[in-house]
A and B are shown apart, each in its own frame.
Chain A
Amino acid sequence: MLKGAIEYAPSTFEERGAAVAFTTPLLSQTRVRRGERSKLEVLIPSLSQGMGIYVVAWKSVPDMVSMTMHDRYLHDLIVKEDACSPHEIRRATLKAARRGLAGPKAAQAARHALEEDEEQSTLTHYLLILAILKAVGLESPEMLKAGIDTDEGQRLTRQLMTRAAESLRMDATLLYSRLADVAAVAAPVGLARSPKPGRLVRGLMDLKGFRDSLTDWAREVPSEAAPVAAFCAEVAQHTIAIGDKVLGDFHRRIEAIGPLMRDWDVEIVRVRAQAARMAWLLDGWSHITGAWEVVQTEDHHQQAATVNDLFRILPLLPRKESSRDFVEDAKQVRQAQRRSVRMLEDWRTGQMDMDAIRRIEAVKARAP
């Protein structure tokens, strides 16, 4: 069940696991991954400010930790759906929050996020149709005027898409099906020319804001947490640098929609891998950037405590993703900040820390 504390230096994103937005303070942002024999397991960092990480069989977690009702529900859902990727975990998390178990505000935010996903999916689909038509020289002002959600617009679209398929020497059904595949891959990231940035593009933008804000904070606020903040900003910067590169390449490939449709078998694998990499890169960051935003209205002491909390759950890049050994660097920072870490009261007393839960729920209401 409990394998004991181990050194934590994952090579790949999959080995690092996907962050789960639990509301139990001890479990907040712990990572789930597929372990031996494909069984789900959870990674719980530094139970007592130690250096290691505990690997626990997913099914055993409720026996080990007193969990909130929200987390029990989410735990069951993840088991039921055998969820493990950032995308699957996010869907499960939104579904749990939508039930109201993390409070009314988190429920509203989850409903809003799910609606936004739907809208983004429709918008991406529409933009991709326009891109295909443009690629084969069939841009139609009439279709744009009629709008894609009217009968007339849809009739025109079908007509034009049939001609586009002919031009691409493929069956119209196949073209539709491939477009749907590309839309499903691209919607969470967002297209380069989308009037509304996609979720992961937004995540990358938020991360840039977080990096800037923490860099300023580390420089301007005299605090023992300043080196920790500077380290968080560095990790963010490394993630951003990789993210910008992956995103640029992803957008270029999607923009070249003609070649994408023609060299389908090779290209779709590439873009799918890039979208997945974006999701892994940004996994766990939305809670961190959200928590930093929430604490902006509070004093420097609260902000310093939050910096230390966030350091504990910082999504360090796996070894294969970066030439820099962040795990080793984090150890140096941890040595320095050990004195000023906010204790996880619930672990020691067995009591739920209502204030800590509330802080986590406030982040969930802001960044579901």
Chain B
Amino acid sequence: MTEAADGSGRGKIDHLPGLESRLFDIPEDKFIEVVRLLERVRDHPDVRQTFAAIRPRLVQVRPDRRPTMKRVLCMPFEDVLESLSGVDVPLGRIERRVIEPVWRLVTECGDTALIDQLDRQVQETAPGNLNALRNIGRRLWPMAAQAIRGAVEQDGSRQMVWRLLHGDEELRRQVLDVAAFLDIGLTVEALKDALAPKPLPALDDHHVEAIEQAAQAAARQSPTLVYYLLLVAASRMANPADLLAVLNDIDLGKARREQPVIFAQLSGLVVTNLEERSARLDGKRDGAGGAAVAIAPEEAIAIAERLVASVNTTSAVMDFLAEPVYRERLDAVKAAVRTMVTGSVLDTAPQGILTVVAAPAASGRPVAVDDDAQTAAEDHARALRRCEGLADALGLHQPLKDAMASMEKGLLERAQALLAQYPKAAGDPDDAETAEMNLFYALRLLEMVAGPAKADRLRTAIMAATGEFGEE
């Protein structure tokens, strides 16, 4: 693959000029149509680069892609493949640059007759026919795993492996990981069905049961494979640390004796994963060219909620391990999240919420409301309220309280100023309506920030000024 290591293939292609950016803008059905056409010539290097560039939209739209052998090969480890955007990182991820050398190892060292036979079957399979693809995988994956392991571990093929992997030890490790995922391909596929949709918001009893059964099946093949099975399970969850919380209650069957080791391995990985995710927060804030990329307040809160939930669960299960070093690392993750929330939600609140309530114009005529600005301010106010749920965990109690109080005060002052000006507009029906809209929009923001009880006093004052329900 020729994709840049940072995954940002956009804007570097000469041969299909402008196509990638246009593919981000066209309607979904057209996008799917173009993807289908491009897939017919997908082996062309330019087209491959185009696919790399449009991957974010492919992830979003998820059209049923034309099946290929390479895609079937990747099925057992697709959940742990690195993601190119967002803050979430799959646990124990496999980098996308591994796919090409793995495919070369399989085609060069594997059973070519079987590959040709399966390739013909793949070409006859309709997109979206998962059962047919799994049936092909049933024969492809064990052969591929054996081929990879044979090539990497045998002296005879050392030269070829060195050439394909550019002597990269990390790549070699990941290639061997891929072989492990392929070994348990069918078990993984069955588990995916049980752990749907991805990301799974919470683990129910039947999910835990499915993980247990899958883990026992993997353990029957080899106890070392259980770890890989659990990585897939964790990667399908919204909060991978949830798996740690139930792991000690799961009977791993033939891998029962390895349970403490697996638990320690996974715990370490969860913490590393959290660190990587919090580091991506800095990446997001710094942006590609060093300029600050603001995270929208609601997005910031959603990210913070996921990370804090993971940190909390991990902390709870880590107490079992009594490892102080983990505690420090988790605290560092929380500090990063706190900085992000402070910067994206609290510090920006005056600009994001207060300024939308227009000050009365000198002319006395009310200023027309701006619906887009109001919508953004409401989103910000909601984010501020959602901070309440994180305040304890992030030690943000006082800063949040201060921000809320300051917003309440500011909104009330601005609303009172508008109210004082209202009689000037009341004579003209259009002006009166505009002035009332301004007041009601301010009231709504106050309601979101301070709650209905406090907002109701302003509502009563507005109704008294407008005289709308006067006879009451």
Binding site for B on A (CB under 8 A): 66-69, 72-73, 76-77, 79-80, 99-101, 103-105, 107-108, 299-301, 352, 354, 358
- The answer to whether A100 touches B441 (Cβ under 8 A) is yes
- Which residues of A lie under 8 Å from residue B471 when comparing CB positions? 80
- The answer to whether B385 touches A69 (Cβ under 8 A) is no
Contact of A73 among B437, B451, B459 (CB under 8 A): B459
A72-B459, A101-B440 known; A354+B453 contact, CB < 8 A: no
Listed A/B pairs (28) with beta-carbon separation below 8 Å: A67-B452, A69-B452, A69-B459, A72-B452, A73-B459, A76-B463, A76-B472, A80-B469, A99-B437, A99-B440, A100-B369, A100-B374, A100-B437, A100-B440, A100-B441, A100-B444, A101-B443, A101-B444, A103-B375, A104-B372, A105-B375, A107-B437, A108-B371, A301-B197, A301-B201, A352-B451, A352-B452, A354-B448
- The answer to whether A69 touches B197 (Cβ under 8 A) is no
Contact of A299 among B197, B441, B447, B463 (CB under 8 A): B197
Is B166 interfacial (CB 8 A cutoff)? no
- Which residues of A lie under 8 Å from residue B385 when comparing CB positions? 354
- Which residues of B lie under 8 Å from residue A104 when comparing CB positions? 369, 371-372, 374-375, 378, 441
Is B455 interfacial (CB 8 A cutoff)? yes
Q: Which residue of B lies closest to A79 (CB)?
A: B472
- The answer to whether A69 touches B469 (Cβ under 8 A) is no
- Which residues of A lie under 8 Å from residue B452 when comparing CB positions? 66-69, 72, 352
Contact of A69 among B372, B456, B472 (CB under 8 A): B456
- Which residues of B lie under 8 Å from residue A108 when comparing CB positions? 371
Report whether over half of chain B's contact residues are helix, strand or loop; otherwise say mixed: helix
Distance from B79 Cβ to chain A, minimum over Cβ atoms (Å): 16
- The answer to whether B437 touches A69 (Cβ under 8 A) is no
A185 to B349, CA, bound (A): 50
- The answer to whether B444 touches A300 (Cβ under 8 A) is no
Q: Which residue of B lies closest to A70 (CB)?
A: B444
Chain B stretch 201-259: residues in CB contact (< 8 A) with chain A: 201
- Which residues of B lie under 8 Å from residue A68 when comparing CB positions? 447, 452
A108 to B375, CA, bound (A): 12
Is B436 interfacial (CB 8 A cutoff)? yes
- The answer to whether A69 touches B374 (Cβ under 8 A) is no
- Which residues of B lie under 8 Å from residue A67 when comparing CB positions? 452
Q: Which 7 A-B pairs have the closest CB atoms?
A: A104-B371, A100-B440, A299-B197, A99-B440, A69-B447, A104-B374, A76-B469
A100-B440, A301-B197, A301-B201 known; A69+B455 contact, CB < 8 A: yes
A301 to B197, CA, bound (A): 8
Distance from A9 Cβ to chain B, minimum over Cβ atoms (Å): 34
Q: Which residue of A lies closest to B385 (CB)?
A: A354
Is B386 interfacial (CB 8 A cutoff)? yes
A239 to B199, CA, bound (A): 38
Distance from B32 Cβ to chain A, minimum over Cβ atoms (Å): 16
A67-B452, A100-B369, A354-B385 known; A300+B197 contact, CB < 8 A: yes
Q: Mark B405-443, 1 if CB is under 8 A from A, else 0.
A: 000000000000000000000000000000011001101
Chain B stretch 370-394: residues in CB contact (< 8 A) with chain A: 371-372, 374-375, 378, 382, 385-386
- Which residues of B lie under 8 Å from residue A77 when comparing CB positions? 469
- Which residues of B lie under 8 Å from residue A354 when comparing CB positions? 382, 385-386, 448
- The answer to whether A103 touches B444 (Cβ under 8 A) is yes
- Which residues of B lie under 8 Å from residue A76 when comparing CB positions? 463, 469, 472
Q: Which residue of A lies closest to B196 (CB)?
A: A300
Q: Which residue of A lies closest to B451 (CB)?
A: A352
Distance from A159 Cβ to chain B, minimum over Cβ atoms (Å): 36
- Which residues of A lie under 8 Å from residue B441 when comparing CB positions? 100, 104
A194 to B469, CA, bound (A): 38
Distance from B110 Cβ to chain A, minimum over Cβ atoms (Å): 37
- Which residues of A lie under 8 Å from residue B455 when comparing CB positions? 69
Distance from A151 Cβ to chain B, minimum over Cβ atoms (Å): 27
Distance from A303 Cβ to chain B, minimum over Cβ atoms (Å): 11
Q: A68-B447, A103-B374, A301-B201 are in contact. List 19 more A-B contacts (CB 8 A).
A: A66-B452, A68-B452, A69-B444, A69-B447, A69-B456, A76-B472, A77-B469, A80-B469, A99-B440, A100-B440, A103-B444, A104-B372, A104-B441, A107-B371, A301-B197, A352-B451, A354-B386, A354-B448, A358-B382
A101 to B468, CA, bound (A): 15
Q: Which residue of A lies closest to B460 (CB)?
A: A72
A72 to B463, CA, bound (A): 11
Contact of B456 among A72, A79, A100 (CB under 8 A): A72
Q: Which residue of B lies closest to A358 (CB)?
A: B382
Q: Which residue of A lies closest to B375 (CB)?
A: A104
Distance from B134 Cβ to chain A, minimum over Cβ atoms (Å): 18
A76 to B462, CA, bound (A): 14
- Which residues of A lie under 8 Å from residue B369 when comparing CB positions? 100, 104
Distance from A251 Cβ to chain B, minimum over Cβ atoms (Å): 36
A350 to B453, CA, bound (A): 11
- Which residues of A lie under 8 Å from residue B472 when comparing CB positions? 76, 79-80
A69 to B443, CA, bound (A): 8
Distance from B382 Cβ to chain A, minimum over Cβ atoms (Å): 6
Distance from B303 Cβ to chain A, minimum over Cβ atoms (Å): 17
A80 to B470, CA, bound (A): 10
A327 to B278, CA, bound (A): 52
Distance from B455 Cβ to chain A, minimum over Cβ atoms (Å): 6
Distance from B20 Cβ to chain A, minimum over Cβ atoms (Å): 25
